[in-house]
């Protein structure tokens, strides 16, 4: 395939607004996702990320504006919460077939693609947060979607697990050439794996490559503090020194506290 050829647009939202009663949940949403593109929605709580994702999946109908989908667009959705009865025993194999009939080979291949084949007979209740998310990805991938919509795909996962999951999302894109729309709070990790960031605040606040969004005044005003804190993680400001003899000298602050400055939390 010619890499310079324009990529097929999978979905395009134009001037989309969603209202509930007299309340406007989102308005003026323009966005498109092309095959092979990773688009990430960021924004504060209640800024309309899930509502926008639901318009893309078709669960929520816009009050105004248009949604154009490629013909026969097949969307795989990984929800923020899964309605599972956690008191009943459920294996991964069973979870994979709850909403569709798939062969053992198809299930194996989908789990293999997310590095979770060894979990086939594991109890869903006993999976770690990262393992559970991988299984949910496999469950969406088994239908060979053109577009995957991932609502907060790294929730309940620790930092190194987050990095691994975002790498996996990119790998899924690279191997299947699907489009991906995801919602994230973790700008610092998601940055490297995303093509386009759309920052929402009831409307599109700013958009672009991760680098342009990060430096835009709108983003800095909306999420700047949080973004800056997240970046501090990378700069890894230790408040201590390692001396040549291996000792650690902790710098005391004026308030008397010592801070590790790893940026957790
Ligand atoms: N079905 C609904 N009816 C009325 N209001 C709703 C409905 N769904 C969401 N809202 C409201 O719409 C706004 C946007 O919600 P949405 O869930 O899209 O935000 P979000 O950015 O995904 O938030 P979060 O980061 O907290 O998940 C919120 O104020 C929410 O309370």
Q: Find out whether 48 and 104 touch, Cβ atoms under 8 Å.
A: no
CA of 173 to the centre of ligand 1 (A): 28
For ligand 1, what atom is nearest to the CA of residue 52? 18
Q: Using most ligand atoms within 8 A of CB, pick from 49, 53, 181 the residue to mutate for ligand 1.
A: 49
b/e code 140-151 from CB counts within 10 Å (16+ = b): bbbbebbbbbbb
User: CA 122, CA 100: separation in Å to the nearest integer?
Assistant: 19
- CA-nearest residue for atom 28, ligand 1, is 46
CA of 49 to the centre of ligand 1 (A): 8
Using one digit for the tens of pLDDT, what is the confidence trace for 168-197? 999 999 999 999 999 987 666 677 788 999
- CA-nearest residue for atom 23, ligand 1, is 46
- CA-nearest residue for atom 9, ligand 1, is 51
Domains of the chain, with CATH numbers?
Answer: 1-74+146-219 (3.40.50.300), 82-144 (no CATH)
CA of 99 to the centre of ligand 1 (A): 26
CB atoms within 10 A of CB 116: 23
- CA-nearest residue for atom 5, ligand 1, is 20
- CA-nearest residue for atom 13, ligand 1, is 46
- CA-nearest residue for atom 2, ligand 1, is 20
Q: Is the pLDDT of residue 156 over 80?
A: no
H or E stretch at 241? strand 240-242
Q: Is the pLDDT of residue 259 over 60?
A: no
pLDDT band at 87 (very low <50, low <70, confident <90, very high): confident
Q: Is the pLDDT of residue 86 over 60?
A: yes
- CA-nearest residue for atom 4, ligand 1, is 20
CA of 20 to the centre of ligand 1 (A): 10
pLDDT of residue 71: 95
pLDDT of residue 82: 76
Using one digit for the tens of pLDDT, what is the confidence trace for 107-143? 999 999 999 999 999 999 899 888 999 999 999 999 9
Query: Which of 255, 218, 223 lies closest to 239 in space, CA to CA?
Result: 255
CA of 245 to the centre of ligand 1 (A): 54
Which tokens belong to 83?
A: 């309605």
Query: Which of 161, 164, 216 lies closest to 192 in space, CA to CA?
Result: 164
User: CA 142, CA 27: separation in Å to the nearest integer?
Assistant: 33
pLDDT of residue 238: 38
Residues with CB under 6 A from ligand 1: 20, 25, 43, 45-51
For ligand 1, what atom is nearest to the CA of residue 26? 14
Break the chain down into helix, strand, coil percent, rounded to 5.
Answer: 35, 25, 40
């Amino acid at each position: 395939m010619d890499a310079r050829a324009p990529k097929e647009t999978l979905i395009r939202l134009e001037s989309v607004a969603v209202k509930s009663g007299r309340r406007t949940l989102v308005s003026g949403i323009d966005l498109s996702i092309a095959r092979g593109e990773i688009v990430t929605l960021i924004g504060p709580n209640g800024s309309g990320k899930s509502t926008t994702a639901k318009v893309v999946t078709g669960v929520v109908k816009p009050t105004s504006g248009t949604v154009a989908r490629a013909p026969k667009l097949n969307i795989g959705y990984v929800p923020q919460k899964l309605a599972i009865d956690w008191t009943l025993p459920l294996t991964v194999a069973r979870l994979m077939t709850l909403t569709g009939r798939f062969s053992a080979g198809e299930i194996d291949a989908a789990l293999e693609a997310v590095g979770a084949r060894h979990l086939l007979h594991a109890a869903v209740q006993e999976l770690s947060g990262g393992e559970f998310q991988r299984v949910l990805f496999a469950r969406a991938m088994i239908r060979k979607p053109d577009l995957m919509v991932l609502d907060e795909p790294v929730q309940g996962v620790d930092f190194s697990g987050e990095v691994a999951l975002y790498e996996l999302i990119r790998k899924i894109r690279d191997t299947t050439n699907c489009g991906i729309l995801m919602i994230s709070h973790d700008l610092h990790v998601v940055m490297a794996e995303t093509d386009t960031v759309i920052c929402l605040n009831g409307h599109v606040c700013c958009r672009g490559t991760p680098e342009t969004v990060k430096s835009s005044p709108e983003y800095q005003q909306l999420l700047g503090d949080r973004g800056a804190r997240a970046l501090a993680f990378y700069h890894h400001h230790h408040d201590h020194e390692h001396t040549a003899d291996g000792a650690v000298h902790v710098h005391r602050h004026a308030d008397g506290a010592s801070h590790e400055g790893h940026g957790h939390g």
